Amino acid sequence: MNERIYLDYAAAAPLHPEVKKEMMRAEKFWANASSLHKEGRAARAIIDNARLSIAQSIGANTDEIIFTSGATESNFLALRGVLEYLRIKGQKPHLVISKIEHPSIYEQARFLESMGLEVSWVEVGKDGLVNVASLENSIKENTALVSIIYANHETGTVQNIAELAGVVKAKNPKTLFHTDAAQGLGWLDVNVGELNADLITGSGYKLYGPKGVGFLYVNSRANLSPQFVGFQEWGKRAGTESTILIAGLAKALKLSKDWPREKVRKLRNDLLKKIQASVPGVILNSQSSSSVPHIAHFSFEGIDPQILNIALDRAGLASSPGSACSTGAVKVSPVLEALGIDIKKYSGSLRLSLGIDTEDREVAEAASIVKNEINKLRGG
């Protein structure tokens, strides 16, 4: 059997060897970082240094970084924290999100809407970019928070966050702006000043860092109601911090500055071209000029996405129909619906995502496997 090809790095990446070394070093400082004794202070120093490293990586202050268990919790804290803070004060906040958000935002907004919160859903164009007029028209006097994903988890489309945040704040200076940057970290520049966002989500395991850790950047404009009440993380997120995971996250983010973005972009573009040229009835949902370097997303005519991905897996190719956070649930992707794709006709969604060590050979073999398996499924 040929060696398997893993092209699902948008779902998870392995621990970088240097990250593993850093975590093993931090493992020696296993004491509770909230303790006042020498061992506790040593563990606290590891966390403080990691917080400083992350803050420097994104141009933030150390007191603007809150450690969490990952991107899902960071997104939860951003939305619930801002909205509950205002509701406790007797206000009726309004939430605005795009129709192409990650499930951890999208489903949370749906739940909040079902509980009576006012939510507006911003349209996107066929290119996956947020409709600026739709966004501007959604902003009202009581709009508390806008959340727009930086790099889409399915198609890889990158939003101009600085422009969108500017539109929002010009319409209502009191409105806060959040962006989920979990899929963009490492592949895109993330600088809080340049993005003009008040809250930014990041996580470790797509950065070749550990699972179970992430962060939320929160600037001084944003007030949050904690979801876990306690004294850790500036009183915004209770629970004993994991020194090992936090050290690994900081190291992974630092190493990502040297990722071979353009090399991976070229490989991704080659993959798009090979599949487009060899498989009829395909739509490319990743535009090479406006997407992260590593994601290629396709919609194939007359193909069941689950059956396709099972067939690819059996043929030795690890892939995904879309976001791994919703894989297994047989339902239409809200992202593809928002793009206006004829889902009944182009039913076969496929996301292939490259890593920093993906090789030309793997791209060529992956394209060949996709072609062969689709031909089989179509009876060819």
Active-site residue set:
325
Ramachandran area for residue 159 (φ above 0: left; ψ -120 to 50: alpha; else beta): beta
**What are the b/e assignments for 27-43, b being 16+ CB within 10 Å?**
eebebebeeeeeeeebb
In sequence order, the 6+-apart residues with CB closer than 8 A to the CB of 107 are: none
CA distance 270 to 293: 12
Helix/strand/coil for 340 = coil
Range 128-135, long-range pairs (CB < 8 A, 24+ positions)? 128/100, 128/152, 128/155, 128/157, 128/285, 128/287, 128/290, 128/335, 128/339, 129/157, 129/159, 129/160, 129/290, 130/98, 130/159, 130/164, 132/163, 132/164, 132/167, 135/96, 135/98, 135/164, 135/167, 135/168
Name the strand (E) or helix (H) holding 166. Answer: helix 161-171
